[in-house]
Amino acid sequence: MPVYDYDMIVIGSGPAGQKAAIQAAKLDKRVALIERKTVLGGVSVNTGTIPSKTFREAVLDLSGFRERAFYGVSYTVKQNITIEDLLLRTDQVIRHEIDLTRHQLTRNHVELMGATASFEDAHTLRLDFVDGRGQRLVTAEVIVVATGTEATMDPHIPFDGRQIITSDDILRLDRLPRTLAVVGAGVVGCEYASMFAALGVRVTLIDKRPRLLPFVDAEVVDSLAYQLRESRVTLRLGEDVRDIEPVHDEHGDRVRIHLVSGKQVVAEKALYSIGRTGNTGKINLPAAGLTADDRGRLKVNDHYQTVVPNIYAVGDVIGFPSLASTSMEQGRLAACHAFGIEAKAVPELFPYGIYTIPEISMVGKNEEELTIAGVPYEVGKARYREIARGQIIGDSTGLLKVLFRTDTRELLGVHIIGEGSSELVHIGQAVMAYGGKIDYFVNTVFNYPTLAECYKNAAFDGINRMGLSVEHTDTSPAPAVTPKV
Ligand SMILES: Cc1cc2nc3c(=O)[nH]c(=O)nc-3n(C[C@H](O)[C@H](O)[C@H](O)COP(=O)(O)OP(=O)(O)OC[C@H]3O[C@@H](n4cnc5c(N)ncnc54)[C@H](O)[C@@H]3O)c2cc1C
């Protein structure tokens, strides 16, 4: 048997790498984790998930956006909000999360190395140490590639990190612009467009596709588009970008975006957000017998093994769904498989949260998918304004939809837009995971007043539409009398 320096080496300290390393360490394996940045946590902690969600919370709090239903559209908690105001909170949370990550890894005896890793062969990595301490070769029985992604850059666009930026530059903005063009209406583009609009920035959102977020329920997307327009966002959909140029004249520094249609969009800054590319270009994949696709992603089997069985790949570097939540689970499952612990794949039924303002969340199938699949279904809807908690928090536009099979009454999907949707969705997720029916919501009791009550209203709505009566199933305690529907 060859003798290796480590049982497992993980490349990358994002959510996927962390969980792979910790799981292997918990199995008493000798584990090293290599990170090329001076800070741990990957995109998730340093430039993506955590910063953007903290930024959003700061925007909502300081702008008083949530309270405007009561106090009027001009209500604000702080006049003249600055980028420093917003970043104060973000910096604190990032620092705490980096600390926590380091603590969790070291507590589990994962050896941390600050270096850029690249393959020498399938069991050997070359480490280029970031602090100039030279190079070293290390070997491992198992190698996990958890190198994540970086913002996709077009070589023709003059990115400068100041006027023409990617989401990685948001935390380094010198000031809040008065106007912003966002190129790419994917999740990240829509999230930042809505955050800046809530601050009063005039935003233009551009995408070559004819609708926002094509994978989201159409009614939910309509509601988002309506609310973005209410926040003075201009949507330029079905429009391709030909060129972006910085302009410096007597009016100051601006950016001019030329659209293929001949239109131009002028803004103080442009956020370019057309997707992400796998970080595989510099890790010398051929030396290990690996190749990536044209977007830098690695192909894996159900156990996250690449075509070279001792090399696993997890997280954003393997593509869809590219979420911190699923990346963590992939890391954990890869480590289990590598050391012979039986583990399943990440469940197909995972929720998706989109932190636009308002927030969107969903689990299971949407109406378009069910229609294409020919599944007989019905929909039940509840609007936040119809329930007490919706009135209390001032969210009059929130909407929760439940989709269920008309023959078996099984819950098939939940789609929500509105305050707290990314938490609320987990109720539907749990019911679906246990094969629950729409009747569960009618037969159960929720805290009052809560947004969870939407489930009950939506269930009644769906059952009424079908002209059905409620079934008392095993999944919930049957009340003494049949509820009136
Ligand atoms: C703006 C934004 C908002 C997001 N919001 C959400 C959200 O709300 N919810 C959610 O679930 N997900 C969100 N995501 C996605 C989430 O951040 C990713 O899914 C997650 O970070 C992927 O984790 P990972 O471990 O695969 O990679 P990463 O977090 O990208 O970490 C990879 C690490 O590998 C290191 N690395 C790369 N190459 C090498 C090398 N050769 N040697 C050593 N180290 C290397 C990198 O420096 C990096 O630290 C968001 C992403 C962005 C960009």
Please say if the pLDDT value at position 468 is more than 80.
Answer: no
Contacts (Cβ under 8 Å, ≥6 apart) of 107:
none
pLDDT higher than threshold 90 for residue 69: no
Q: Which of 450-471 are b and which e, b meaning 16 or more Cβ less than 10 Å from the residue's Cβ?
A: ebbbbbbbbbbbbbeeeeeebb
Residues with CB under 6 A from ligand 1: 11-17, 34-37, 42-44, 48-49, 52-53, 116-117, 146-149, 167, 188, 279, 282-283, 315-317, 322-325, 327, 353, 355
Measured in angstroms, how far is the CA atom of residue 327 from the centroid of ligand 1?
9
Whole-angstrom Cα distance, residue 172 to residue 367? 40
Taking only the tens place, the pLDDT of each residue in 221-271 is 999 999 999 999 999 999 999 999 999 988 889 999 999 999 999 999 999
Closest CA to 23 of 341, 348, 347: 341
Atom 15 of ligand 1, nearest CA residue: 323
Mean pLDDT in the chain?
Answer: 94
Q: Which residue has the higher pLDDT, 104 or 133?
A: 104
Contacts with 169 (C-beta within 8 Å, 6 or more apart), sequence order = 161, 162
Mutate to test the pocket of ligand 1, among 19, 39, 43 (most ligand atoms within 8 A of CB): 43
The two beta strands, 269-272 and 179-183, are parallel
Percent of the chain's residues with pLDDT above 70: 97
Q: What does the pLDDT look like over 282-327, one tens digit per residue?
A: 999 999 999 999 999 999 999 999 999 999 999 999 999 999 999 9
Cα 316 to middle of ligand 1, angstroms: 7
CA 443, 448, 452, 458 torsion-angle sign: positive
Nearest CA residue ID for atom 4, ligand 1: 49
| Atom of ligand 1 at shortest range from CA of 15 | 25
* pLDDT for res 459: 97
Return the SS3 of 437.
Answer: strand
Q: What does the pLDDT average to over 463-471?
A: 80
The pLDDT, as a whole number, for residue 484 is: 41
Q: Whose CA is nearest to atom 51 of ligand 1?
A: 48
Neighbours of 250 (CB within 10 A): 4
Q: In what order do the strands lie in the sheet with 264-267?
A: 241-249, 252-259, 264-267
> pTM of this prediction?
0.94
User: Which pLDDT score, from 0 to 100, does residue 472 have?
Assistant: 61
